[in-house]
Homo-oligomer: A and B are copies of this chain.
Amino acid sequence: MSPARALTSLPAIVAAGRSLLEEGGLDAVTMATVAARVGVKPPSLYKHVRDRAALLAAMATDGAQELAVVLAEAARKRADAPPAERLTALAGAYRGFARRSPRTAAMLFANYGPELQAPLEPAGLAAKPVIDVAAELVGAARSLAAARVLTAFTYGFTSMEAAGAFRFGGDVDEAFQLGVAALARGLAAA
């Protein structure tokens, strides 16, 4: 009589996917491994998620929402600081997120099928504090362009770092700080 009670949920499935991703990479995110982790059989996942690609997109969106919180918090703490200092704090907060969730971070701006773009809302939320600092540095007219520059650098750097692409030795922290400082100075002067 009573219809089957839900044993899992979309948030639980997304969380399972993200933890499997960080533990073993994309190949480890299987409908079977995700199902096992949430205590269900693989076909049941399709009641919560259209297919595997949609699950990956939902994981990326979840990461974007988490990042939005992290960035908003960092911006709030330095609300009255000069823009270069707030930019440094934002970049550091992003990098902290990328180190805690490197594989999720590498997914943030990836493309999982043409129909699977993450919704604009979480991305916009994460972008808000970045656009705000950018506006202070270059003015409102070019704030979007400057925010894209800042995001591209931070995303590129942290993705390369996570992939182990910095293999010629040297101090990686120093390089990150040099980049943030150069962008703060160079954008303000542009």
Contacts and interface: CB of A to CB of B under 8 A. Distances in A.
A179 B149 contact: yes
A164 interface: yes
A163 B124 contact: no
A178 interface: yes
Q: Name the residue in A145, A160, A164, A185 with the highest tally of chain B Cβ atoms < 10 Å from its Cβ.
A: A145
Nearest to A131: B168
Main secondary structure of the interface of A (DSSP, over half): helix
**Identical chains in the assembly:** 2
Interface string A158-173: 0110111111111110
A153 B156 CA distance: 6
Contacts of A149: 153, 157, 175, 178-179, 182
A170 B148 CA distance: 10
A184 interface: yes
Interface residues of A, number: 51
A3 to B, nearest CB: 36
The 10 residue pairs across chains A and B that have the minimum distance between CB atoms: A156-B156, A186-B186, A182-B186, A149-B179, A152-B157, A111-B163, A145-B175, A152-B156, A185-B186, A109-B165
20 contacts: A106-B110, A109-B159, A109-B165, A110-B163, A127-B168, A138-B178, A144-B175, A145-B175, A149-B178, A152-B153, A152-B179, A153-B156, A155-B160, A159-B159, A178-B187, A182-B190, A183-B186, A184-B186, A185-B190, A186-B189
Interface of A: 25, 106, 109-111, 113, 117, 120, 123-124, 127, 138, 142, 144-146, 148-149, 151-157, 159-160, 162-172, 174-175, 178-179, 181-187, 189-190
